[in-house]
C-alpha cells in the first residue's frame, strides 16, 4: 500500500531497508518514470521498500520567491503520478529555511540512513544537495561507503535524441508546442482544479466559462487555447480557454477560464482537468467589450475546427510505465 510521509524526523520507516531516488519530479515525465520504475524493480529484487524523496515547494521555487517559477504540475498531481507507479512510499519534505540550511551529511544520516535504511540511492549525474549545494554524487558515494548503501547514477533519459527534462518541457509549453511536450511528458499537459464562481461576465457576454483559480501556482502557458475539459461527463468536452489576467476587464489574479461547447450546466465546486491542445494566440487588451466578444467568437470557431475527432492532433503518442513511447500511428 502506498504511503505518503511528510515528516523529516521520526521513527524508522523501512525496517527491511529501501531503494531510494531523490528529485524534484516536476511533471513526473517519461524520464522520471523510467527512474522511478527502476527503483521499484530494484526494490523488488532486494526485498526492500521502493521510496521516492521529493520536496515542496521544489527548491528552485523556494530560492526564487521574488520571481515566480512555473511548474508542470501541482503537488496533488505529483503525488497522484508517483502513487500510480507502484512505489511503496513518497517522502515529501517541506523545503523551508531549516531544510535549506541542512548540511549534506545531515541529510544522508537523518533521512537516508536513520529513517529509510537505504541500501541503494539513485540520483542523476548532476545531482546536488545540502546547504549551498555542497553535496554531489562523489559525496553521496563517500557517505554510502560509511553507511552501507550503494549510490547509482541514472543516465539522462532521451527520446528520439531529445533529452527529457522538466525545463525542456516548460520551454515547449511556453512556445505552444503541446505535441512535443506531450511526447516528453508521456501524457497531455493539463491544469486541474475546482470550478469557482467568477464575475459572471462571460455568461453575460454569451460565453459562460468554468473558472479555475491558479492561486500561488505559476503556469508555463499563457494566452488563448483550444482545450479539452475532463471531469464533466463520461468523456472529454471540447472548449476554448483563456489563461491570464484578463487585461480588458481589469483582471489581476491569473485565472483559467474554459468555455465548453454545446454545454449548459452548473459546474461550481466540481474538480475538472483542462487538457491543452493548441495555442490560438497571446492574451491581449481590447479597446472595447464588443471587439473582445468578436475575437472570442473567432477563437471559438478556430478551436472547434481544431478539436474535431478526425484531426490528427487527437492521435497522441503516449509513454508506457517504463517511460517508453508508443505511437497510435498518427504523425506528429
pLDDT higher for 318 or 262?
262
- The arithmetic mean of pLDDT across residues 132-143, rounded, is 96
The set of residues, in sequence order, having a beta carbon less than 8 Å from that of 29 and lying 6+ positions away, is 72, 164, 165, 166, 169, 184, 185, 186
pLDDT at 302 over 70: yes
pLDDT given at position 199: 75
pLDDT at 63 over 70: yes
d(CA 158, CA 140): 25
pLDDT higher for 330 or 225?
225
Percent of the chain surpassing pLDDT 70? 89
**Residue closest to 229 by CA, chosen among 190, 194, 203, 201:** 190
pLDDT higher for 317 or 308?
308
Ramachandran area for residue 251 (φ above 0: left; ψ -120 to 50: alpha; else beta): beta
pLDDT higher for 58 or 199?
58
Domains of the chain: 3-159 (3.40.50.620), 188-316 (2.40.30.30)
- Split at pLDDT 50, 70, 90, the class of 314 is low
Ramachandran angles phi, psi of 176, nearest 5°: 85, 15
Tens of pLDDT along 147-172?
Answer: 999 999 999 999 999 999 999 999 99
- The arithmetic mean of pLDDT across residues 13-29, rounded, is 97
d(CA 139, CA 104): 8
pLDDT given at position 30: 97
Q: Which residues pair with 91 in a beta bridge?
A: 5, 53
Cell of 64: 526564487
Q: What is the mean pLDDT of the chain?
A: 89
Is residue 29 within 8 Å of residue 181, measured between CB atoms? Answer: no
Tens of pLDDT along 267-300?
Answer: 999 999 999 999 999 988 888 888 889 999 999 9
pLDDT at 326 over 70: no
| DSSP per-residue string spanning 141-194 | HHHHHHHT-EEEEEPPPEETTEE--HHHHHHHHHTT-HHHHHHHHTS--EEEEE
Q: Which residues pair with 218 in a beta bridge?
A: none
pLDDT given at position 190: 97
Q: How far apart, in Å, are the Cα atoms of 14 and each of 8, 91, 205, 242, 300? A: 14, 12, 58, 46, 53
Q: How far apart, in Å, are the Cα atoms of 182 and each of 72, 95, 173? A: 11, 29, 9
pLDDT higher for 250 or 215?
215
| DSSP per-residue string spanning 111-126 | IIIIIT-EEEEEEETT
- Split at pLDDT 50, 70, 90, the class of 137 is very high
- The arithmetic mean of pLDDT across residues 19-39, rounded, is 97
Supply the pTM of this predicted model: 0.87
Amino acid at each position: 500500500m502506498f504511503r505518503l510521509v511528510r515528516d523529516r524526523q521520526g521513527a524508522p520507516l523501512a525496517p527491511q531497508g529501501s531503494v531510494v531516488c531523490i528529485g524534484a519530479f516536476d511533471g513526473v515525465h517519461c524520464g522520471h518514470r523510467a527512474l522511478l520504475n527502476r527503483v521499484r524493480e530494484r526494490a523488488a529484487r532486494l526485498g526492500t521498500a521502493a521510496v521516492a524523496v521529493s520536496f515542496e515547494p521544489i527548491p528552485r521555487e523556494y530560492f526564487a520567491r521574488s520571481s515566480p517559477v512555473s511548474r508542470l504540475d501541482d503537488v496533488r498531481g505529483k503525488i497522484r503520478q508517483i502513487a500510480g507507479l507502484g512505489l511503496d512510499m513518497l517522502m515529501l519534505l517541506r523545503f523551508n529555511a531549516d531544510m535549506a540550511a541542512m548540511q549534506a551529511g545531515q541529510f544522508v544520516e537523518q533521512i537516508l540512513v536513520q529513517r529509510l535504511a537505504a541500501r541503494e540511492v539513485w540520483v542523476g549525474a548532476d545531482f546536488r544537495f545540502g546547504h549551498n549545494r555542497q553535496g554531489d554524487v562523489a559525496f553521496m558515494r563517500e557517505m554510502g561507503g560509511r553507511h552501507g548503501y550503494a549510490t547509482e547514477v541514472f543516465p539522462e533519459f532521451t527520446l528520439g535524441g531529445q533529452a527529457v527534462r522538466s525545463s525542456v518541457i516548460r520551454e515547449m509549453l511556453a512556445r505552444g508546442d503541446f505535441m512535443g511536450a506531450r511526447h516528453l511528458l508521456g501524457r497531455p499537459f493539463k491544469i486541474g482544479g475546482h470550478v469557482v464562481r467568477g464575475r459572471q461576465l462571460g455568461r453575460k457576454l454569451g460565453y459562460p466559462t468554468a473558472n479555475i483559480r491558479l492561486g500561488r501556482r505559476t503556469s508555463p502557458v499563457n494566452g488563448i487555447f483550444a482545450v479539452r475539459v475532463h471531469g464533466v461527463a463520461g468523456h472529454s468536452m471540447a472548449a476554448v480557454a483563456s489563461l491570464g489576467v484578463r487585461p480588458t476587464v481589469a483582471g489581476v489574479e491569473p485565472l483559467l477560464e474554459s468555455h465548453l461547447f454545446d454545454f449548459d450546466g452548473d459546474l461550481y465546486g466540481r474538480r475538472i482537468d483542462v487538457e491543452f491542445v493548441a495555442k490560438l494566440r497571446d492574451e491581449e487588451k481590447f479597446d472595447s467589450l464588443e471587439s473582445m466578444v468578436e475575437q472570442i467568437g473567432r477563437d471559438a470557431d478556430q478551436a472547434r475546427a481544431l478539436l474535431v475527432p478526425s484531426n490528427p492532433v487527437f492521435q497522441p503518442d503516449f509513454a508506457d510505465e517504463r517511460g517508453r513511447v508508443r505511437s497510435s500511428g498518427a504523425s506528429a
